Amino acid sequence: MPRNDEFLYNLRNANPIETVIGSYVNIQKRGRNYLCSCPFHSEKTPSCTVFTDTQTFHCFGCGAGGDVITFIMKIENLDFMEALKLLAQRSGVEMPQNQYSYNNQYAQRKTRIYEMNRISANFFYTNLIKGSDKSGLQYFADRRLSPATIKKYGLGYASDSWDTLVNLLRSKGYSDEEIADAWLGGRSQKNGNIYDMFRKRVMFPISDLKGNIIGFGGRVLDDSVPKYLNTAKTPVFDKGSNLFSMNFARNSDTKSIILCEGYMDVIALNQAGFENAVATLGTAITPEQARLISHYADHVIIAYDSDNAGQNAAQKAINHFSEVGVRTTVIRMEGAKDPDEYIKKFGRDRFRVLLENSNDATNFMLDKCEGGLDLSSEAGRVKLLKRVSYVLAGIENSLEREVYISRTAQKCGISADTLKFHVNDILQKSNNTKKKNAWRSTVSEVTRKNDNINPEAVKFRKEANAEENIIYFLLKCPEDYQDIEKEIPPEFFVTPFHKRVYKAVLERLKADCIFSISLLADEFSTEEMGRISGIIARYSDKGINRKVVSECAQVLKNTDSSAKNDKDFSVDDLKKMLASKKK
């Protein structure tokens, strides 16, 4: 079998980064590189570059970056080993057996939580099916769920016990600290004892895209509060980044997603044959969830509850999907408050008609503008025109905007030119605001007071810049590592993060590795890998050579301890830098 570094080298060659990223987002050729909209933050102008020569990517907007392994870790929410396995499976590269060592405490912690969640899900399911308390089973029977649906979703029941699950997990070798870490147990403030977090609730296991159980939602059967209790943030679960039933929806034979509010809505739709239904996890949809959906669908049908809260949430969801380029329509349910109730009352065929006749997002928002207004009065019509003007200004396509302006003007009884003038005024002000914000962002970036990854870089800007030059050259010319280390020992580095990177690269080169930044992915977080990729991206066209490296080495050697305490970036330095950016 190949050595570890040979395996990574072969794996990366078998998974060209432009091909892998291109399977998630649309990328466009720009010279020798590729450009795309970043899949990790919302943006209208592409700011993510894929560098073919270094097989890395970097987003100049949010700072995400790295190589193909880092990309898969971040976009699929995987640890290092999981990302390797996915890429190996994708490309047909054989994983080394018992020769690829990987000792990462965080990854092991995640693995233990996955195991505990699986044990807990089986425990809840067995309680539901075979337990003496049949109230959970009765609840699902009343909701008309079939045994096959209950099994498909692994639904369960948490009995009214303080420590039954805790004791089970203890017997399997898990510590109280691990049980609490998985949010399966809570610790009493009175005596410090651990207790079952979920009690007397029907249970909804939450799975990730690979089918791993990452958390739970629990619903009470009486009037207790909270009505729903969801797993809090853990190393494997973040409710703002995951969606209930997305593991099933991603495999449906349609490029549309039905977005619901609750677990039961999704399960009822799935049972009725709509496998492309998903739900948020107790919160309004987040930008991260919208981006996740955009990877698998180009059309979202919002099927939120028909009450005011549901309709207001729909409007917020429309904005998030607009930012990631997903077409949105909204269904209006009459005679039922949610999809679950609608299907029970009217059947799946009527619901399918609702989907086919769903209203486009713009019409939905324009209709919402009329809420609470007396349109028979002049004041009411003026308020309506002000509201609709902002909706119309939000339509990016100019031709589409013209159509809606004409239609709205006719409805409101004013000339299209008058309405268009007002909309254009809003657009101009919006563009001016964006320009100001962009300038403030540039100034903030130059004068930033905080750097969570490399805090000392703010104080020692000149030295940090020199260190980045050296690191870039080392990554570009690894064959020169012995001469570079001799001239610049790691202890010369001033900032801790750069020193870590420098030492890590040297260690791998000393091990006679076929070096690539993939070898750093098991030691540095995805955020830190993004910073490393940023160094590659920023300096790739700077012409860094040995002379420049020697000059940078001199900068570090001349930095004495007394100067380090008061070194900072002056206003004059800022002015010079900003002036150079304008040239």
Angle of helix 378-393 relative to helix 361-368, nearest 10 degrees, comes to 150
User: What gap in Å lies between CA 413 and CA 216, rounded to an integer?
Assistant: 53
What per-residue confidence (pLDDT) applies to 442?
53
pLDDT tens string 43-79: 778 999 999 888 899 998 888 999 999 999 888 878 7
Question: What is the C-alpha to C-alpha distance for residues 205 and 218, in angstroms, rounded to an integer?
Answer: 9
Q: What is the token pair recorded at 575?
A: 């002015």
Lowest mean pLDDT among 250-254, 447-451, 490-494, 536-540: 447-451
- What pLDDT score does 525 carry? 83
Q: How does pLDDT run across 290-345, given as a tens digit for each residue?
A: 989 988 999 999 999 877 777 778 878 888 888 888 999 999 888 999 999 999 99
pLDDT at 3: 47
**Tokens 């260690």 sit on residue:** 507
pLDDT the model gives residue 341? 95
Q: Is the pLDDT of residue 28 over 90?
A: yes
Tell me which of 485 and 400 has the higher pLDDT: 485
pLDDT above 90: residue 169: yes
Element (H, E) at 215: strand 213-220
- For residues 366-395, average pLDDT: 85
pLDDT of residue 189: 86
pTM attached to this predicted model: 0.73
Amino acid at site 309: A
Give CA separation, 564 vs 453, 458, 555, 557, 568, in Å: 19, 11, 12, 12, 9
Of the chain, the percentage scoring pLDDT greater than 70 comes to 91
pLDDT of residue 395: 78
Q: What is the mean pLDDT of residues 110-129?
A: 97
**Cβ atoms < 10 Å from Cβ of 106:** 11
Whether the per-residue pLDDT at 393 is higher than 80: the answer is: yes
148 or 571, greater pLDDT: 148
Domains by residue range for the chain, with CATH:
4-91 (3.90.580.10), 104-235 (3.90.980.10), 238-368 (3.40.1360.10), 374-436 (no CATH), 456-582 (1.10.860)
279: amino acid identity, one letter: A
pLDDT digits (tens, 9 = 90+) for 235-284: 899 998 899 999 999 989 899 999 999 999 999 999 999 999 999 987 78
End-to-end CA distance of the chain: 54
Retrieve residue 321's tokens.
């999907």
Cis peptide before 147 (omega within 30 of 0): no
pLDDT at 565: 43
Sorting pLDDT into bands at 50, 70 and 90, what band is 574?
Answer: very low
How far is it, in rounded angstroms, from Cα 322 to Cα 8? 38
Residue 4 has pLDDT above 90, yes or no: no
Average pLDDT of the chain is: 87
- The yes-or-no verdict on residue 485 having pLDDT over 80 is yes
Most confident of 25-39, 265-279, 435-449, 534-548: 265-279
**Per-residue pLDDT, 567:** 44
